[in-house]
């Protein structure tokens, strides 16, 4: 996720662009840049790192004259966070500058075509194909060039464009990434969200997918995807700036829970092409797969639990034994790894010390290493033989949500990709791909099916302990559900393999220990049902997570959370969502600091 801004009017643009980028910095902050037009001259300034570096380079914008411009703060997805990869990107003829938020899923095909047509690329980004397409299609009319360019793009994009042939104008194009216009007096704006606008104007126009706008200081014209001019209503923003940064949500954690359908889509959609799972990143890696005799997944915290959830698909589809090890343990285990071991390292930040150490230890012993990381260019990404990014966008809340679900989504994709490469998929491939492509919608359904979670939180928030129980894939999700509850509400919670309760821990079960029972795996549903009966007979209140038509569980449980039915091999990213929301609302009831829980860090870069 990145942040884009645009301004045109009578004032100097650069300071306004920089101010807007500062307000959007939470959307991405590994590099930044502005392009400002003075007369027919476009000047571009870009930096690696935070907006502060850009302010320093441009003397807070005072060294860059001009009343029109666009700006960008980057969260790298394609290409490391460098100055070359920072936006804005310029066309070869210097006539166009573009900033982009989103992912161009067909950028490799477009890049090859443009290279064949003689266009020179300055960066590794997906975005740069846009500015060369504009040059290709420009015959004197910017709107026509924008339309033709947009028709070639697949994926998500919020674009800001300026053209030196049209001083005083900025263009905004929206497809599946947020883009809002700010209506001023003698000046107009665009931005990725209202955060960057509210200090200048509270009158905004929300563009919808397929629409684009031409803005000058005195006018805003909006067009639909056929190029027909349309009228849209102006909305008055009543949020304060701080609330706007969270998209109107009270906490970043809730915002990031709600972002999961989009984040999981960003992780999955670009990697399913023509009925196959295609990882551009794995090209040189796959031939070594037939020699792999063991897969070890290693990580910390929720990333470890993501490994626990994804291992089922990996093991069952690939037929390769999979072990999941805590990195803080693996690094000192004297691990039995060699050239026939594949180590999959999972890390949102890519900077967790234990995870880095485990990666180095196993790599030194000859293991093949594949990283699943969110932060582009992070240490884990650089150390691994091969890295697959989750494209979750920046995650601000310390307790991860979309980081976790996108990690599992990538594991699902890898399982199918590896199994296909090992000729083990057979006829189920199409059905599995349909299931994966539907996951974003299913996650949204899991959110929509549970409006009563805030009420459930009021009922359970004073309990001092919870048990999360489940079997198989449900148990893996119970581990993360339990951690979420502990991390942000500070209430004790323990995840237990449901079949293991009777070997000791059931001694703790009574009316004071609510049991959250995950019953989403039909294969072992009956067994979990009997565990629920066991704990109920000892006085426990049971909150069950299951399907709406599960007639056997409904009469037994005291309270219910629902998810839509999905193959249990791929349901973890759905099951966890109601549990994330439960933990969130319990913590809220208890007045906890949800985005910055006590004693925790977003990434523990020390041992």
Distance from C-alpha of 136 to C-alpha of 128, rounded to nearest angstrom: 13
Least separation in angstroms between residue 359's CB and ligand BG6 is 11
Residue nearer to ligand BG6 on the CB measure, 73 or 349: 349
Q: In the structure encoding, which two tokens stand for residue 23, read together? A: 């307000």
Least separation in angstroms between residue 27's CB and ligand BG6 is 19
Least separation in angstroms between residue 246's CB and ligand BG6 is 18
Output DSSP code: residue 178: -
Instruction: Give the chain's count of helices (H) and strands (E).
Output: 18, 27
Torsion on CA atoms 269, 275, 279, 284, rounded to nearest 10: -170
300 counts as catalytic = no
Interface residues with ligand BG6 (CB under 6 A)? 300-303, 347-349, 352, 355, 398-400, 600-604
Name the residue among 55, 58, 64, 69 with its Cα closest to residue 9. Answer: 69
Distance from C-alpha of 490 to C-alpha of 139, rounded to nearest angstrom: 62
Return the bridge partners of 298, or none. 325, 345
Least separation in angstroms between residue 290's CB and ligand BG6 is 30
Residue nearer to ligand BG6 on the CB measure, 383 or 556: 383
Least separation in angstroms between residue 301's CB and ligand BG6 is 3
Residue nearer to ligand BG6 on the CB measure, 303 or 509: 303
Alpha helices in 24-127 (DSSP H): 51-57, 107-116
Distances from the Cα of 314 to the Cα of 60, 372, 479, 578, angstroms = 51, 14, 19, 25
Distance from C-alpha of 489 to C-alpha of 99, rounded to nearest angstrom: 40
CB of 504 closer than 8 Å to CB of 514? no
Least separation in angstroms between residue 401's CB and ligand BG6 is 9
Residue nearer to ligand BG6 on the CB measure, 110 or 572: 572
> What Rg do the C-alpha atoms of the chain give, in angstroms?
25
One of 2, 300, 417, 519 is an active-site residue; which one?
Answer: 2
Q: Concatenated DSSP letters for 497-538? A: EGGGGGGTGGGG-STTS-EEEE---GGGHHHHHHHHHHHHTT
What 3-state DSSP class applies to 318?
helix
Residue nearer to ligand BG6 on the CB measure, 371 or 535: 371
CB of 532 closer than 8 Å to CB of 517? yes
592 counts as catalytic = no
What 3-state DSSP class applies to 30?
coil
Residue nearer to ligand BG6 on the CB measure, 170 or 572: 572
Distances from the Cα of 383 to the Cα of 279, 355, 377, angstroms = 19, 11, 10
Q: Which helix (H) or strand (E) holds 387?
A: strand 386-389
Residue nearer to ligand BG6 on the CB measure, 278 or 396: 396
Distance from C-alpha of 475 to C-alpha of 473, rounded to nearest angstrom: 5
Residue nearer to ligand BG6 on the CB measure, 201 or 407: 407
Give residue number: closest CB to ligand BG6: 301
One of 22, 255, 588, 602 is an active-site residue; which one?
Answer: 602
What 3-state DSSP class applies to 310?
helix
Give the count of beta carbons closer than 10 Å to the beta carbon of residue 118.
8
Distance from C-alpha of 419 to C-alpha of 286, rounded to nearest angstrom: 11
Least separation in angstroms between residue 410's CB and ligand BG6 is 13
Residue nearer to ligand BG6 on the CB measure, 300 or 568: 300
Least separation in angstroms between residue 219's CB and ligand BG6 is 46
Least separation in angstroms between residue 242's CB and ligand BG6 is 23
Length of the chain in residues, anyone? Answer: 607
Q: In the structure encoding, which two tokens stand for residue 241, read together? A: 């700036």
Distance from C-alpha of 182 to C-alpha of 172, rounded to nearest angstrom: 11
Residues classed as catalytic: 2, 602
């Amino acid at each position: 996720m990145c942040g884009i801004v645009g301004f045109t009017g009578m004032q100097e643009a650069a300071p306004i662009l920089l101010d807007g980028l500062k307000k959007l910095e939470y959307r991405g902050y590994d590099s930044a840049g502005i392009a400002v037009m003075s007369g027919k001259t476009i000047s571009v300034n870009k930096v690696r790192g935070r907006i502060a570096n850009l302010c320093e380079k441009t003397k807070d914008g005072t060294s860059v004259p001009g009343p029109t411009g666009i700006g960008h703060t980057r969260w790298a997805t394609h290409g490391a966070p460098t100055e070359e990869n920072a936006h804005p990107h310029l066309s070869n003829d210097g006539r166009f500058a573009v900033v982009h938020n989103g992912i161009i899923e067909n950028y490799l095909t477009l890049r090859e075509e443009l290279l064949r047509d003689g266009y020179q690329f300055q960066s590794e980004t997906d975005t740069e194909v846009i500015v060369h397409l504009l040059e290709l299609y420009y015959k004197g009319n910017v709107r026509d060039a924008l339309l033709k360019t947009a028709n070639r793009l697949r994926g998500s994009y919020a674009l800001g464009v300026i053209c030196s042939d049209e001083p005083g104008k900025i263009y905004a194009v929206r497809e599946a990434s947020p883009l809002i216009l700010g209506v001023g007096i003698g000046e107009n704006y665009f931005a990725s969200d209202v955060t960057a606008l509210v200090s200048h104007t509270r009158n905004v126009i929300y563009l919808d997918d397929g629409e684009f706008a031409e803005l000058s200081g005195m006018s805003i014209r909006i067009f639909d995807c056929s190029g027909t001019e349309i009228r849209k209503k102006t909305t008055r923003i009543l949020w304060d700036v701080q609330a706007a940064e969270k998209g109107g949500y009270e906490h970043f954690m809730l915002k990031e829970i709600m972002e999961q359908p989009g984040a999981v889509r960003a992780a999955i959609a670009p990697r399913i092409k023509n009925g196959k799972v295609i990882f551009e990143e794995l090209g040189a890696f796959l031939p070594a797969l037939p020699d792999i005799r063991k897969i070890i997944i290693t990580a910390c915290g929720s990333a470890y639990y993501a490994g626990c959830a994804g291992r089922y698909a990996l093991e069952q589809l690939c037929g390769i034994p999979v072990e999941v090890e805590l990195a803080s343990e693996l690094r000192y285990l004297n691990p039995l790894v060699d050239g026939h071991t594949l180590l999959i390292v999972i890390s949102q930040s890519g900077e967790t010390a234990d995870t880095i150490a485990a990666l180095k230890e196993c790599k030194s012993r000859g293991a093949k290493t594949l990283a699943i990381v969110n932060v582009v260019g992070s240490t884990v990404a650089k150390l691994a033989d091969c890295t697959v990014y989750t494209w979750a966008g920046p995650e601000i809340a310390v307790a991860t949500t979309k980081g976790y679900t996108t990690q599992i989504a990538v594991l699902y994709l890898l399982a199918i990709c590896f199994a296909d490469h090992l000729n083990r998929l057979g006829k189920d491939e199409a059905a599995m791909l349909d299931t994966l492509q539907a996951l974003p919608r299913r996650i949204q359904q899991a959110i929509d099916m549970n409006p009563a979670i805030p009420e459930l939180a009021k009922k359970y928030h004073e309990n001092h302990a919870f048990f999360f129980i489940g079997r198989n894939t449900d148990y893996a999700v119970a581990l993360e559900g339990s951690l979420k509850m502990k991390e942000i509400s500070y209430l004790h919670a323990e995840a237990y393999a449901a079949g293991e309760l009777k070997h000791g821990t059931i001694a703790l079960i009574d009316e004071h220990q609510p049991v959250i029972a995950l019953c989403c795996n039909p294969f072992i549903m009956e067994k979990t049902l009997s565990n629920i009966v066991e704990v109920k007979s000892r006085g426990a209140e049971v909150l069950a997570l299951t399907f709406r038509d599960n007639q056997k569980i409904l009469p037994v449980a005291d309270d219910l959370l629902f998810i839509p039915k999905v193959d249990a091999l791929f349901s973890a990213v759905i099951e966890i969502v109601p549990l994330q929301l439960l933990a969130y609302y319990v913590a809220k009831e208890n007045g906890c600091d949800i985005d910055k829980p006590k004693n925790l860090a977003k990434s523990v870069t020390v041992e």
